[in-house]
Structure formats: structure tokens, C-alpha cells
Structure 1
Amino acid sequence: MTRVQLTELREGGSQDIASVNAIMQDAFDPQFGEAWTGPQCLGMMSLPGVWLVIASAEGEDAGFALAREIAGDAELLLLATRRSAQRRGIGSALVRAILAEAQERGAQQLHLEVRAGNDAVRLYRSEGFDKVGERKDYYRGKTGQLFDAQTYARRLR
């Protein structure tokens, strides 16, 4: 498999909401109910301790990660990569960027939540995350079907 040429990781902001929404709509299957709305993303980005990383590849925004740090604890809130760029190193680059920034901000650990059965679990495990919990019936899909959420964490210090 050919790797996509990652050209840039950059700090994002509210000016990137159209790109974030486009990536999210392309990456997340609506049947699982995981995507956030634009107003949800903007609301989160306006809070203290929240940061956005945008990954560009082959001349376009190809992925993003949204995270926050509060009192020594960091959370990866969202991570998405365009379908055409998945499994080509962009997700790993975003996770590593979030890990580095979380540590820079003084976080002791980074945690995240992901739908059980999501292919992204392989990425998170490969980056050193361990499963620490599960929430039954957390996600509500488009048809009303419920899906479990799994919680993963990685110590930073």
C-alpha cells in the first residue's frame, strides 16, 4: 500500500470548521452516530484547554484531531481521516501530535472513547493505548440502534 505524502501538521481553529465538517462527513459512517455537528465542534473549540490539529496531504486537508487538557488529564475528543487517506499514516501522525501536545501541556495521561468494533481501535492500540472501560449502548445510530463505547488510555509520564 502506498503511503500518502503527509505535507503538514498545523494548529487549527474555528476558521477550519468547514474542512473539519467535510472530513468528518467523509470519514464517519452515519449509521453509527459518531460525527459531531459544526456547532458542537465550534462550541468545544471555544473552551479553554482545547486544541485542533489539521493534517494536510497531497494538497488538501486530509484529517484532523480535536483534544483537550484539564487539570493534568487530556482527552482525544475526535479524530478523523478522509477515507481516501485512511491506513496511510495520517491517523498515526495525528495521534502522535496530540500525545506530544498533551504532554507539553502537562497532562499525565491521554484517554479517548471509541465505538466498539471501530477499525480505529487498531490505531490506538498500536500507539500504546490500553482498554480501561466500556459504556454499554452509548452511541445511537441513525436507525436508533445502540452501540457500546470503549474507553482507552495511555500514560504520558
Structure 2
Amino acid sequence: MSGSVNLTELRQGSAADLAAVSVIMQEAFDPRYGEAWTSAQCLGMLSMPGVWLTIARHGGIDMGFALSRETGEEAELLLLATRPTGRRRGVGGALLRATVAEAKLRGVKRIHLEVRAGNEAVLLYRREGFEKVGERRGYYRGRGSQLYDAETYAKYIA
């Protein structure tokens, strides 16, 4: 099915959503790349000031999430994941736009993220106005200690 998903709910998440976040990460991130976080890592991050979680829900199912943090005038998109069934249907774009909107409300001037080189999500980030600003060689450690490069993207928001 092509086209955009009509999201019935885009809401602020909390530690109570970590089980759903974990399931989404397991479906969304290929373990060979080492991109997924553990529940403990997510919980630790959620306990820090300036961190927020956004959950996308459609048809009674949690379809994706975005985990972000702000520090002063900068913000970072830490994780964005969508279930495979939500891809290319508007879920990731809705989460990314909601993250940018929340960052703007918090007084952020610049938001950045990193993504594995070669990840198709780069198309979404570029479409939403993010520009490549750097690279990190061997940033992700996947299966068998294989290293993968990361690319850094940023977007200025007014």
C-alpha cells in the first residue's frame, strides 16, 4: 500500500512506553549494524533533563518513535525508528517534523543527528531540510565487531 499513513495519534511518550520502543527497535534496526539501544540505555536517557520521546500510533498499534534531547539552543535526534510496515507511509516524516516542532518550542536554533552511512533514512532527513555536516569513521560497531561509518546531519530552525 502506498501513500501516507493517516496518523491517529502522535503523542509524548514516557518510560512506560519503553517496552513498545524496544519492540519497534528490534523490528526497525538490523542487528548487523549495532544501531539499536538497550532498554536500560533508553531509560537512562529519558531520566535526563531536556529529553523527550514521541510515539506514533496508528490503528491502535505503536508504529514508531523519536527520542530527542535539547541543550540550550541545540538539539539532537538520538533515535528515530519505524516498524517496517510504517515505512514510506509517512510515519518517519511525521515523527521528524514533530521533533523539529518541539525543538523549536524549546528555543532550539539547530538540530542535528547521526545516521549510518548508506542508511535509506538519509533520504527522509534530506527531504526535511537536513544537510550533511560531517562523518565519523567506524562509529557503529555491529556483529563480529564490524565497524560502520556514521554521517552527521544538521538543520537550522528559526
What range is the shorter-chain TM-score in? over 0.9
Two-structure CA RMSD over aligned residues (Å): 0.7
1:119-138 alignment runs, 5 A limit: 119-138=120-139
Q: Aligned residue for 2:95?
A: 94
Q: Matches of 1:27 and 1:148 in 2, distance apart?
A: 19
Q: Aligned residue for 1:70?
A: 71
Q: Matches of 1:42 and 1:119 in 2, distance apart?
A: 27
Question: 8 Å contact 2:3–2:88 — kept in the other structure?
Answer: no
Q: Matches of 1:21 and 1:5 in 2, distance apart?
A: 23
Question: 8 Å contact 2:73–2:107 — kept in the other structure?
Answer: yes
Q: Matches of 1:33 and 1:59 in 2, distance apart?
A: 29
Deviates more, 1:2-11 or 1:25-34: 2-11
Question: Deviation per CA, 1:85-139, whole angstroms, max 9, x where unpaired?
Answer: 1111000000000000000000110000000000100000000000000000000
* Structure 1 residue ranges (4+ consecutive) displaced by more than 6 angstroms after TM superposition: none
Shift of 1:2: 4.1
How high is the sequence identity, in percent, across the aligned residues? 62
Q: Which runs of 5+ in 1 are unaligned?
A: none
Q: How many residues align?
A: 157
Q: Aligned residue for 2:143?
A: 142
